[in-house]
């Protein structure tokens, strides 16, 4: 299958999902931050840019300024004696190839040195312990604080509750029951949790919050793809997207990342070839797994669910070779590769032999991050990140402000 044939499928317009408990959290967030010492902003490692919620930015910036901190450096503006740390946690790291972790860590350190980043997986307790130790160290640096309060923020289904349960397990000696209920579907947590003890001495407590989605996913193809990504990672309410649309987008991404040997090959018969046709793929999956309806008809609906849930559960990583860098054929044409569903880059012919160089990967990741930031800033300045209703409300507010200035 040629890379020229890998084209993005037609995707439905994104469906907004912003229930009332998300609105309440947005309004009450400044109040909760007033008694918070550390913010853990949890993102999904498979989509570390898509799961950035810009709604947090201004509120957290004001929180830092009020605590005497410069939001863009690690240096204090003046000493208030109050702890004020904002950590980014890229969760579900075990669902990503390990070869991209260190390049991304260094890329984020270069571009945002004022915001420490941790990679975590609830299946790897050493990473959870590293984050727990960072929280304990903050508490030790501020011994006058009776207890360190940690607020956990993030989009739906990025693993906030599971991460807190893991932090509790490594921080409290002896057997500990799971303190927070978790679910594979978004929206399980609908209010701020009661304090969850993560460490005894010094005392560290955490508060879980509902997953906060953005009110509007975007216009055109950009919004459609963003919606497909959230649906794929179970970040949206089940039923908002047809499973075949999700499967179609997943097929496109896997073929884009490795058209010669896509990750789904173990799901189809050995003699089958990679395909760009989702109907053909689902028929092959149903055939291999003997998914039949009455009358011997292939059950492509079950096949679509198997395909999507396979990615959600495994990240499309083979159990014994998740760290392997995809091999690229030697060619005179540029090649496309990437890491996860947010980092995709083109390799010029002279770069193909160095495709596995961590410094080259880091540079490509930094280009992706900067391009993403620039596009978000452009969308914000043009108002294209707002729905038509939000644009009208902004226009009315701006006109009202101008009239007030004229009157004064």
311 and 195 housed in the same domain: no
Give the contacts of 243 (CB within 8 A, at least 6 positions apart): 301, 304, 305, 308
The DSSP symbol for 145 reads S
Note the helical H segments in 233-277: 243-257
**Nearest residue to 224 via CA among 241, 247, 209:** 241
> Residue 21's pLDDT is what?
86
Q: Which of 277, 300, 324 is the last residue of a domain?
A: 324
Report the alpha-carbon distance of residue 358 to residue 339 in Å, rounded.
12
Counting DSSP H helices and E strands in the chain, the numbers are 11, 8
The model's confidence at residue 2, banded by pLDDT at 50, 70 and 90, is very low
Report the alpha-carbon distance of residue 166 to residue 159 in Å, rounded.
11
46 and 156 housed in the same domain: yes
Report the alpha-carbon distance of residue 348 to residue 326 in Å, rounded.
16
Single pTM value for the model: 0.88
144 and 248 housed in the same domain: no
* 3-class secondary-structure state, position 354: helix
Range of the domain at 181: 20-208
Contact 118, 88 (CB under 8 A): yes
Contact 229, 341 (CB under 8 A): yes
Q: What is the pLDDT of residues 301-354, one digit of tens each?
A: 999 999 999 999 998 886 654 556 666 665 557 788 899 999 999 998 888 888
Residue 224, number of CB atoms within 10 A of its CB: 21
317 and 330 housed in the same domain: no
| CATH number for 221 | 1.10.1580.10
Least confident of 27-41, 46-60, 389-403: 389-403
Q: Which of 324, 341, 371 is the last residue of a domain?
A: 324
Contact 152, 40 (CB under 8 A): yes
Span 6-11, average pLDDT: 86
Q: What is the pLDDT of residues 174-228, one digit of tens each?
A: 665 556 655 555 555 655 778 899 999 999 999 999 999 988 888 888 889 999 9
Structural domain count of the chain: 3
Q: Which of 208, 242, 273 is the last residue of a domain?
A: 208
- Which carries the bigger pLDDT value, residue 238 or residue 61? 61
């Amino acid at each position: 299958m040629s890379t020229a044939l890998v084209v993005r499928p037609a995707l439905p317009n994104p469906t907004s999902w912003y229930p009332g408990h998300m609105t309440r959290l947005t309004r009450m967030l400044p109040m909760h931050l007033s008694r918070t010492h550390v913010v853990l902003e949890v993102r999904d490692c498979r989509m570390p840019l898509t799961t950035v919620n810009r709604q947090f930015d201004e509120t957290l910036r004001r929180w830092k300024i009020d605590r005497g901190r410069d939001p863009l450096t690690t240096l204090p503006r003046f000493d208030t004696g109050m702890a004020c740390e904002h950590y980014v946690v890229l969760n579900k790291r075990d669902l990503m190839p390990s070869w991209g972790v260190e390049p991304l860590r260094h890329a984020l350190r270069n571009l945002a040195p004022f915001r420490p980043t941790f990679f975590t997986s609830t299946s790897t307790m050493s990473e959870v312990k590293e984050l727990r130790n960072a929280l304990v160290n903050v508490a030790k640096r501020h011994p006058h604080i009776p207890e360190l309060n940690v607020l956990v923020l993030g989009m739906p289904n990025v693993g906030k509750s599971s991460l807190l349960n893991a932090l509790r397990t490594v921080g409290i000696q002896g057997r500990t029951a799971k303190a927070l209920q978790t679910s594979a579907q978004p929206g399980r947590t609908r209010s701020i949790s009661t304090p969850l003890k993560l460490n005894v001495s010094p005392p560290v407590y955490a508060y879980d919050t509902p997953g906060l989605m953005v009110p509007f996913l975007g216009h055109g193809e950009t919004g459609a793809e963003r919606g497909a990504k959230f649906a794929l990672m179970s970040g949206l309410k089940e039923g908002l997207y047809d499973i075949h649309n999700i499967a179609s987008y997943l097929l496109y991404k896997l073929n884009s990342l490795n058209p010669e040997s896509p990750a789904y090959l173990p799901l189809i018969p050995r003699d089958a070839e990679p395909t760009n046709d989702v109907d053909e793929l689902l028929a092959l999956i149903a055939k291999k797994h003997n998914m039949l309806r009455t009358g011997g008809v292939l059950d492509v609906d079950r096949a679509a669910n198997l395909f999507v849930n396979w990615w959600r559960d495994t990240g499309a990583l083979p159990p014994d070779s998740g760290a392997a860098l995809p091999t690229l054929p030697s060619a005179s044409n540029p090649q496309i590769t990437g890491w996860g569903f947010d980092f995709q880059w083109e390799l010029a012919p002279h770069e193909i032999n160095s495709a596995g160089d961590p410094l080259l990967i880091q540079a490509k990741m930094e280009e992706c991050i900067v391009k993403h930031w620039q596009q978000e800033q452009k969308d914000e300045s043009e108002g294209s990140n707002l729905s038509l209703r939000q644009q009208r409300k902004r226009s009315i507010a701006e006109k009202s402000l101008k009239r007030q200035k004229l009157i004064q």
